[in-house]
Every structure is written in structure tokens, then in C-alpha cells.
Amino acid sequence: MSIPFPDPASDEDPAARLLAEAASGDNVSRSPSGDNAPALSVSQLSAAIKRTVEDGFARVRVRGELSGTKRAASGHFYAGLKDDNALIDMVMWKGQAARLAFRPEDGIEVIATGKLTTYPGRSKYQLVVESLKVAGEGALMLLFEKLKARLGAEGLFDRERKQRLPYLPRTIGVVTSPTGAVIRDILHRLADRCPTRVIVWPVLVQGEGAAAQVAHAIRGFDGLAPGGPVPRPDLVIVARGGGSIEDLWAFNEEIVVRAIADCRIPTISAVGHETDVTLADHAADVRAPTPTAAAEMAVPVRAELMAQLATWRGRMIGAATRAQALGGERLAALARHLPRREALYAPQRQRLDDAEGRLDRSQRHRLAVTAERLASRSAALRPALLARAWDRDRARLEGLARLLASLDPRALLSRGYAMVRDAGGAIVTHAAAARAAGHLRLQFADGEVPVAVADGDAPPPSSPPKPVRRAPPALPGKGQGELF
């Protein structure tokens, strides 16, 4: 493309203004006479070309095949866009590259939307892409097959990785849009078949960022701890309604496929209609043709379950009853071979009768011998001998009683004797002890009298004499009486 150089005085073209400014600068040498083309620096010329290209191609849409795709460590995406006769370099900055709905690879036909610019450092022009989409269903299917082959080679779709679905899950996690008809169909179908707790993780199911949200939701359910504040699902359903291949492409993204394959919770993929197949369907443990079918696969029909339980209960009772009946029949058959009870008891009964007879005879003989012995011994007992022994013992007892009465010290008091005691009540037997005591008590037969031992001293006052309890006279045959 040739770059026109209009009159520098004109204000209509930016390149012309740049040329005018450059011509009036000190760094440009004077042109020879008759030469009206001013000399420009390389930077000035490159800047002029850059502005001209960017102004002329501020927004373009280019269709071509990707070649030499490369994602830099900074996150920027570089590639070539080619057809049969030409190639244009393209760059997609980190922000736009992160929102791509698919993984760019060599050989994919795409439509790139952006602006054309130049790179002065290499005298090259390139396309700065703002939007990159796969060109048509044919290109998407080609990309689909490539992804399927690559991920399948890693074993993500192997049958050995599939998990069995729980028969009756307590909690079901659903990854879908919270506002679409899909979640309503799933909830309605679950309520009809078997009411179950459902936790919905709302996500975008189409457009930029949908794949990342779906993958995050699947990993979020898988990361829930059992017994935590949010119940960990026993089953996860990834669902979306029908649509074109572009609408369903988020469920073909590698990030979603890997999240489903890594999920430790059994997963049902219910994306699109029956004829729609996504890579999520291949990675999931079970594929459902529709979201409603996924709900039917998730839980059994409660009425059928109750009927099945009733059937099993009847079979169990029948089996138990049948075993009992068979046991009774076998017991009756065995009992017929046993001897009769009368035959078993007859010898024992006869032995008991014999023992009873011997016991009766033995008791009669023993009683006879005892009676004879008692009669012989009772004849030796005479009443006169007993009476004499009684009189002898009585006379001895009376003598002992008279002796005890004669030895009673209180009997002496009645004959004029007195018993001397000190203030503490101890008996005084010597005169020295009496003089040392000072105050004494003389006990007579009818009471006590306090006395003082010192010469000329009046006796101390005393309490009234205590009456002396006389011992009753000993009577023959009534015991020995008191000793004091």
C-alpha cells in the first residue's frame, strides 16, 4: 500500500500533519532546490504508517485457519491466521484470551474480530484480536473430535473410571442455571418420583465464563466435607437444555471434562436433548438424554419402592413360615420313631413303688426299735429317787443362803458396829488414816453421821443422812440375796 503525502498545511490527514511537523524540525536537512519531499526519520515514518493502518482498519473480521498457536507465560495468545495464499500474525491479550470459549489449536478455522496495527520494532503488521470464534459447525466438530481423541487417550472416558449411582441418594447436587426450565423440570420430576433434598449450584450454561463456572461448581460439590454445614451430595447432576453446538460448547471444554472425570461423587450428565452429545457426557458416570431423564435415573419411584418392600416382606414372612412348617413336619416325623412316654416311665415307676415299700417297712421297724428302747429306759426312772435328790439340793441351797447372810457386813451394823468412811467414800480401817482424813462419815444401820477428827472442832455441816437400804432376808429356795 502506498502512503500519500498531501500538502503539509492541510489539517485533514494525521500523516500530513506529522510530515509538516517533521519538515519544520531541525533534525531534517534542507531539501535541494526543486525537491519538495522532506526526509523523515524511521520512527516518524513508522508512526505515520501505524496511524494510517489503524485508522483504515480500526475494526475488521477475518476468517482463516489458526497456525503456530502459542500461549505465553504472561497469558497473551499468539498465532497466525492463514488461508491458501496469505498469513497474518495475530495477538490476543491476556484479558480476552482468558474468556475464550474453546481452546485454540492449529488447524481450527476461526473468525477473528479486532483491529489491524503495526509493530514498528519488526516492520510487521498484525491483527489485535478482541473476539475469536470457531467458524461454523464443521470447524467445531473438528475441534470436538480432536479434544475427544486427546482426552480419551488420557483415559478420562474409560469405563473402568465409571462409578455406580446410589440407589436412594439422600442429597442431590444440581449444576445448572437457576432461572431456566431445566431446574424446574428436575425438581418437579423428583417430587413426583421420590422427594429428595436438592442443592442447586447456580452457573452460566452458555457464553463467556460458563465453562469455568461449571467446573468450579463440580469441584465445589466434590470438596464439601461429609457432616459439614452444607450437606455433601450423594449424586451430582450437570444439566442444560438443548441448543446448537455453539450453545453447548461450554460442556465440551477441557476444564469441565476434567472436573467431571476427577469428581469423586457419582455424576449424571444431562446436557441438551437426546441427539446432543458433549464431552461432558463421555466423562460423566452416566449420560441422561434429557434433564428430566436424569431425575428419573437419580431416584426410584417411591410407590414402586414401597410395593417392592411389601413384596420382599411377604416373601420374607413366607420363607420364615415355610421353614417353621418344614421344621414341624420333620420334628413330628422324628417323634414317631421315639418310644412312648408310658414305656419310658414304666421301669422308673416300678422302681419308685419298690423304694416306697422298702422305706415304709424301714420306718416301721425303726419306730418299733425306738419304742422298745424308750420303754426299757423309762422303767428305770423312780419318783422316790427324784424326790430325795430334790430335798438334798434344797437343803444345800438353804445352808449357803444362811452363810451368806452371816457374812453380810450390814448385819454387823445392826448389832452396834459402825462403818467409817472418808469424804471420798473410801472405808477407813486405821486410826492414822482417820486422823489424816480430818472429816469422816460414820455409817450406822439406820444412816450416816459426819464427824470431825480434830480436837475441839465442831463437826462440819452435813447433808441429811441417806437412808440405808436393808437387804431382805434370805429365804430358802429364793436364791442367795444380796452380798452387800
CB 58, CB 115: distance < 8 Å: yes
Beta bridge partners of 232: none
297-332 pLDDT tens trace:
999 988 888 888 899 999 999 888 888 888 888 988
What value does the mean pLDDT take over residues 137-144?
75
pLDDT on residue 57? 85
Sketch the domain layout of the chain as residue ranges: 57-134, 163-300, 303-336, 404-484
Beta bridge partners of 447: 444
pLDDT on residue 287? 94
Lowest mean pLDDT segment, chosen from 53-57, 150-154, 348-352: 53-57
Using CA of residue 23, residue 29, residue 34, residue 38, what is the dihedral sign?
Answer: negative
369-378 pLDDT tens trace:
898 888 887 7
**CA–CA separation, 61 vs 3, rounded Å?**
23
pLDDT on residue 258? 94
List, edge to edge, every strand of the sheet that includes 447-452: 419-422, 439-444, 447-452
Tell which wins on pLDDT, 461 or 407.
407
What is the pairing mode between strands 171-176 and 197-202?
parallel
pLDDT on residue 463? 55
CB 443, CB 427: distance < 8 Å: no
Q: Compute CA distances 407 → 57, 362, 404, 480, whole Å.
A: 160, 63, 5, 12
Confidence of residue 9 (pLDDT cuts 50, 70, 90): very low
Lowest mean pLDDT segment, chosen from 66-75, 81-90, 396-405, 450-459: 450-459
Confidence of residue 4 (pLDDT cuts 50, 70, 90): very low
Predicted confidence (pLDDT) at residue 269 exceeds the cutoff of 90: yes
**CA–CA separation, 432 vs 419, rounded Å?**
16
Element (H, E) at 115: strand 109-119
C-alpha cell at 294: 436424569
Lowest mean pLDDT segment, chosen from 25-39, 46-60, 146-160, 378-392: 25-39
Q: CATH: 3.40.30.10, 3.90.650.10, 2.40.50.140, 1.20.1260.10. Which one for 57-134?
A: 2.40.50.140
Helix (H, G, I), strand (E, B) or coil at 478: coil
C-alpha cell at 308: 417392592
Q: CATH: 3.40.50.2000, 3.40.50.300, 3.40.50.2300, 3.30.300.20. Which one for 163-300?
A: 3.40.50.2300
Predicted confidence (pLDDT) at residue 36 exceeds the cutoff of 90: no
